[in-house]
Structure 1
Amino acid sequence: MFKPGVTTEATEGLLFVIGRNASLCVIRAGDALLIPKGPADDAIYLGLLDATPCFARWLGDDPIPAGCEVAPLRQL
C-alpha cells in the first residue's frame, strides 16, 4: 500500500526516474519490469510503498541509470 509523504530522513529508496516523451526508467527481470533502487540525490520524496521510501526525479540529459532501460508509460 502507498502512503503519501512530504518529508523523510531516508537517503535512498525506489527511484521513479521520469524521462523524455512520458517514459520511466525500469529494470527488466524476465517478464517483470521493476523500479530501480538507489540514492535519492536531487529527487523529490513521494512517500512509502510497503514501507519502502519512494522518490521521483527527472532524467533530463543525464545518462540512463546502470542496468535500466526507458519504457514508454503507455506500454506499462
Structure 2
Amino acid sequence: MKQLAVTCPNCKKKFNYYSSEFRPFCSEKCRLIDLGQWLTESYTVPVEKLTEEEIQTLEELVHEKNAEEEKKHHH
C-alpha cells in the first residue's frame, strides 16, 4: 500500500492518507465535524463590500443569463 503521511485538518493527528476512507480526515468523526462547520456556516469566505455600480452590473449579468435560459427552454 502506498504511504503518505498527512495531518488531519480537524484534529491535527498524523495518519497515512491512503489508509483512511475518510480522507483528507483521519476518521469519520473528524469528517463529520468539518461537515458540521460548513452546514452551520461557521466557515465563511471574506467578502468585500461591492459598490452600487458593481451590484448593478452583477444584477444585469444575472438577468441576461436568466433571459438566455428562458429562451432555451421555450424552443
Q: Same fold (TM over 0.5)?
A: no
TM-score, normalised to structure 2's length?
Answer: 0.25
* Structure number with higher relative contact order (C-alpha < 8 Å, ≥ 6 residues apart): 1
Structure 1 or 2, whichever has the larger Rg, is: 2
TM-score, normalised to structure 1's length?
Answer: 0.25
Q: Which has the higher helix share?
A: 2
Q: Which has the higher strand share?
A: 1
